[in-house]
Amino acid sequence: MFKRSEQDKRAPVQIFVDGIAVTARQGDTVSAALLASGGDVRRATAVSGAPRLPYCMMGVCFDCLVTIDGVGNRQGCLVPVAEGMQVEIQKGRREVGR
C-alpha cells in the first residue's frame, strides 16, 4: 500500500517490530516506518478490539499507539526511529504490572 520512492537516499535504520527486523530510513517516524514495511501493523483497541492503523500522522487521533522499548501507549507518529529500537504492536488491553 505504501512504497518508498526509489529516490529516497536517506540512511537506513534497523528497528525491530514484534521481534522482526525492519529497515526504516533516518528521519522516519515509527508509524511511517511501520506503514512502509508492508507488514500487518494493525493494533487492536483496548475496549472493543477494533483494528486501527496510523491515520492522522500528526498526534491527534491516537490510532498509532505502540509499545516502544518497553513503554506502552506511545504515539508512533510522533517518535522518530532510532537504531535498534524495539517496537511492539499493541493488541488490545495492556496488562498492568507486566
What does pLDDT average to over the chain? 91
| Phi, psi for residue 36 in degrees, rounded to 5 | -70, -20
Query: pLDDT value at position 70?
Result: 95
pLDDT of 97 strictly over 70: no
Mean per-residue pLDDT for 40-66? 92
Q: Which residue has the cell 498492568?
A: 96
Alpha-carbon distances, residue 18 vs 26, 60, 67, 88 (angstroms): 20, 25, 10, 5
Give 96's pLDDT tier (boundaries 50, 70, 90).
low
Top pLDDT among 25 and 97 is at: 25
Listed by start position, the domains of the chain span 14-89
SS3 label, residue 66: strand
In angstroms, the CA 16 to CA 37 distance is 11
Which CATH number is associated with domain 14-89?
Answer: 3.10.20.440
The model's pLDDT over 25-48, given as tens digits with 9 standing for 90+, comes to: 999 999 999 999 988 899 999 889
